């Protein structure tokens, strides 16, 4: 997965917003960015639990929020996925509990915010990517293409 390209698209979108609205410092933006991530994550899992059909858009919105936080914290490089990591994630078993996966991700995201630990956000990222690839049955190419198209239409 070309996370570098995806980060670049999100970063360009942020720069455009800064130019339009004026740049605020990262510390003041961060709580709002985490709030956006948590609300998008809740929507994704709520819709998944209720078997909604347009789950990919919700998934992409969460992906964008995670990348946004990584960029704000200057942790983007930590989200890059090697081929070995991709293969490892793809070969994981499907989840047994949607609720447990949601709560795990929510906990890791909270921990990332309150302790400013990049490792917890990276762990959440890996679980999230695995969820998309294994449980939602998206392909890597499908996610990359859909994300770049999503970013272009949302901008």
pLDDT in tens, 8-33: 777 777 766 665 666 666 667 889 89
Least confident of 8-17, 76-85, 108-117: 8-17
Tokens for 140? 């890597």
pLDDT grade for 81, boundaries at 50, 70 and 90: confident
Q: Are 146 and 56 in contact (CB under 8 A)?
A: yes
Mean pLDDT of the chain: 87
Domain ranges of the chain: 3-154
Question: Of 145 and 28, which is predicted with more confidence?
Answer: 145
Q: Residue 155's pLDDT is what?
A: 44
Instruction: List the structure tokens of 38.
Output: 């948590």
pLDDT for 22 equals 61
The dihedral of CA 145, 6, 33, 115: what is its sign? positive
Do 118 and 75 meet the contact criterion of CB atoms below 8 Å apart? yes
Structure confidence at residue 67 (pLDDT): 93
116 pLDDT higher than 80: yes
Residues 6+ apart with CB under 8 A from 11: 71, 76
Residue 70, classed as helix, strand or coil, is helix
Residues 6+ apart with CB under 8 A from 101: 45, 95, 127, 131, 135
């Amino acid at each position: 997965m070309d996370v570098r390209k995806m980060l670049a698209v999100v970063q360009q979108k942020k720069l455009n917003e800064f130019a339009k609205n004026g740049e605020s410092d990262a510390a003041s933006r961060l709580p709002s960015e985490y709030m956006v991530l948590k609300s998008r994550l809740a929507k994704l899992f709520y819709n998944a639990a209720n078997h909604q059909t347009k789950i990919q858009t919700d998934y992409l919105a969460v992906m964008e929020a995670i990348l946004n936080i990584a960029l704000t914290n200057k942790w983007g490089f930590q989200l890059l996925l090697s081929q070995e990591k991709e293969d490892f994630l793809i070969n994981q078993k499907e989840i047994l509990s949607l609720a447990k996966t949601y709560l795990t991700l929510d906990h890791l995201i909270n921990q990332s915010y309150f302790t400013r630990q990049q490792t917890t956000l990276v762990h959440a990222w890996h679980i999230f990517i695995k969820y998309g690839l294994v449980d939602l049955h998206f392909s890597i190419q499908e996610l990359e293409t859909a994300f770049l198209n999503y970013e272009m239409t949302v901008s």
